[in-house]
Amino acid sequence: MLNNIPTDNFYKFQYLAGLLIIFSTFYYLIQRIEIDNENLIKLEGQTSQLMFDNRMWEFQIDEIDSLSKKLLERDQITANELQNLRSKTDSIFQLSHSINSKMNDIALKNNLISYSIERTSKYHKYSILFLIAGIVWTAIGYFGWFFLHQKKQDRILEIELELKELELKRTVNLNKKPEEE
């Protein structure tokens, strides 16, 4: 397959190289945009989970608050109630630690995604230059190939065809003359 690459003419090569630049640029842009979109979707999912955890944390704080108010209104606290209050307080601290950890993770990912999006937008500018270069390179190659080279090649083929037709007529005429005599 690689042996069939048209390198017999610089214009043909230039035309195909320009097309390769154009398609590669589009492919790269599409890939970068897809990667950025996937990262944003993941970040949104993690943010939603964090918001859910935060609501759970607020619910547990409200629950502990109401339980502690009930216990303060009474004179005595049983060991069971104290243990229940401690376990809920511990679960809030664990959830708080988990939320803080997730917030730090999301902030880091947000920074990475922001950097990636900035880089992608920077590459968009370069991609436009590559597209313009690819289009110009392709146009020069196509017009050079078609107008400078292909027309001459077509003319050579027409002349060769006329020569072959003349040869064929001469051969037919030579073959007919001896038979007529």
Specify burial of residue 28 (Cβ count, 10 A radius: 0-12, 13-18, 19+): middle
- Nearest 5 degrees, angle CA 123-CA 129-CA 132? 140
| pLDDT, position 1 | 45
Q: Report which DSSP code applies to 75.
A: S
Average pLDDT in the chain: 79
Residue 155 has pLDDT above 90, yes or no: no
| pLDDT, position 33 | 82
**Annotated domain spans of the chain:** 9-180
CATH number for the domain formed by residue range(s) 9-180: 1.10.287
Q: How far apart are CA 80 and CA 83, in angstroms?
A: 5
Higher pLDDT, 147 or 68: 147
Residue 161 has pLDDT above 80, yes or no: yes
Task: Write the pLDDT tens digit of every residue in 41-84.
Answer: 877 777 777 777 777 777 777 777 777 777 767 767 777 777 77
Least confident span in 12-21, 157-166, 169-178:
169-178
86 CA to centre of own chain:
51
> For residue 74, which phi and psi values (nearest 5 degrees)?
-90, 165
**Quick count: other Cβ atoms within 10 Å of Cβ 15?**
22
* Average pLDDT rounded to a whole number, residues 135-163: 86
Q: How far apart are CA 95 and CA 84, in angstroms?
A: 16
